[in-house]
Amino acid sequence: MKILFLFILLNTSLVFSQLNDSVFIRTIYNEALSRGKSHEDLRELCKDIGARLSGSSEAEMAIQWSKSKMESYGFDKVYLQEIKVPHWERGTKESGWIKTKQGEILKVNLLALGGSVGTDGLLEAEIIEFKHLDDLKKVDPLLVKGKIVFLNQPMDEKQIATFKAYGGCYPIRGDGAVEASKLGAVAVIIRSLGLPIDIHPHTGSMHYNDSVKKIPAAALSTLDANHLSEILSINKAFFVFEMDCRSFPDAVSYNVIGEITGSVKSNEIITFGGHLDSWDTGEGAHDDGAGVIHCLEAIRILKVMKYKPKHTLRVVFFMNEENGNMGGKTYATWSKEKGEIQIAAIESDRGGFSPKGFELDGTDEQLKLLQSFEKNFSPYELSVFEKGYGGVDIGPLNKVFIGIPLFGFVPDSQRYFDFHHAPSDVFESVNKRELELGCAAIGSLIYLLDINL
């Protein structure tokens, strides 16, 4: 009888706990959807500050805005963490044209890739097309020397997971300039890494090798890339363009940090955030304005609900994810040097679209914990709870806090690469309700991790 009583008591307690969790999470969603601040906060970040490239005046104003906003929400601590970041500027707007064999001159839409050198005035040369970076690597250098290389590899539209399609094309952007320069090319033009066929070029980071001559690198809109390819299929053509971009010495910048202090284990930290910087085109709305606002709103809601966490909850607006990740790297070593214990980290850096779930970079045991939360999220139509990727900013934590689980927020990805690194990544492209649902999902995961770790 005593054993039966204990069994009933334990099961009753479990059911009561689950009911409490259900009610608490419902309240998080109610706050986000009915009294949320996320959409207006994102509007301010995008419209009042704008694009936020590391080292720019806009990035500095975004830091000030973020600190002020966190202070207005009454977090227990709000402060800045100093870091050093690369400083690259696009300069005067790029211009480009195709010159056909028949004498036609056709203006195109292009953007310098982040970190590229300039052209030092107008640069004109014959342009030669390759469908894949591997095709370029195999070619006779005599066919490339003195020419502009055009890397025209499209993202694979057959991939349902669009990030896989992006990853398959990334080498043309990251490595294209080095591989083209090795063969004597004077510049490289890539097809933008985007799925739609439109006029918006997509920028993004690229790299140089100190042992290889640096040549200008730019991205062409997908519509212009198709047009250029059609022209080259008939006859030779020349490409003419000018870019005024340049690099400067590293600049001082900051991560912006807000906390609710843990009531039981204050030295154990649950970190969550996104990156405050963006590329200098568009407004950085999906990448990653939505991500930082997701996490800001999540902690704001928990504060409004007067939630007293066991562990310290820390929101971090990381600086410099786009072209160096100095915010993430510096934060990880700084936390370790302070003697903190990082027990989990969450990142939102995949846009402000409808939530689908969370991925985990962690162990099988940690995956079981994440999957146990599925019942809590099923009323909100989240179904992805699987192993995968955490995020660039939180990745360095795993190098100094071995075994820490890294959770990546997973929204619907089908439209993300319409806007990624493009002029079209503006506030108007983010749906208010989808953004709010993301905030609530992240707030709920923070709560569940806090009570279960």
Pairing outcome for strands 110-112 and 341-347:
unpaired
Residues 288-322: tens digit of each pLDDT: 999 999 999 999 999 999 999 999 999 999 999 99
Mean pLDDT for the stretch of residues 55-60: 98
Cβ neighbours of 169 (radius 10 Å): 22
Domain boundaries, the chain: 24-85+250-452, 92-245
Q: Are 327 and 393 in contact (CB under 8 A)?
A: yes
pLDDT at 16 over 80: no
Structure tokens that stand for 250 in this block? 């590293």
pLDDT tier, 18 (very low <50, low <70, confident <90, very high otherwise): low
**Measured distance CA(266)–CA(339) in Å, rounded:** 12
Question: Would you state the pLDDT for residue 19?
Answer: 56
Residues 373-428: tens digit of each pLDDT: 999 999 999 999 999 999 999 999 999 999 999 999 999 999 999 999 999 999 99
pLDDT tier, 17 (very low <50, low <70, confident <90, very high otherwise): low
pLDDT tier, 72 (very low <50, low <70, confident <90, very high otherwise): very high
Q: What is the CATH number of domain 92-245?
A: 3.50.30.30
Task: List phi, psi (to 5°) of 395.
Answer: -55, -45
CA distances (Å), origin 283, targets 178, 348, 352: 29, 17, 13
Residues 190-209: tens digit of each pLDDT: 999 999 999 999 999 999 99
Residues 73-110: tens digit of each pLDDT: 999 999 999 999 999 999 999 999 999 999 899 999 99
Q: Is CATH 3.40.640.10 the right assignment for the domain spanning 24-85+250-452? A: no
Question: Would you state the pLDDT for residue 318?
Answer: 98
Residues 151-167: tens digit of each pLDDT: 999 999 999 999 999 99
Residues 220-232: tens digit of each pLDDT: 999 999 999 999 9
Residues 131-158: tens digit of each pLDDT: 999 999 999 999 999 999 999 999 999 9
pLDDT at 217 over 50: yes
Question: Would you state the pLDDT for residue 8?
Answer: 42
Mean pLDDT for the stretch of residues 275-286: 97
Report the chain's mean pLDDT, rounded to a whole number.
Answer: 95
Q: Are 217 and 90 in contact (CB under 8 A)?
A: no
* 3-state SS class at 146: coil
Count, in order, helices (H) and strands (E) of the chain: 14, 16
pLDDT at 451 over 50: yes
How many Cα neighbours within 13 Å face the side chain of 211? 1
Among the listed ranges 10-19, 224-233, 441-450, which one has the minimum average pLDDT value? 10-19
Pairing outcome for strands 187-191 and 148-151:
parallel
User: What is the value of pTM for the model shown?
Assistant: 0.94
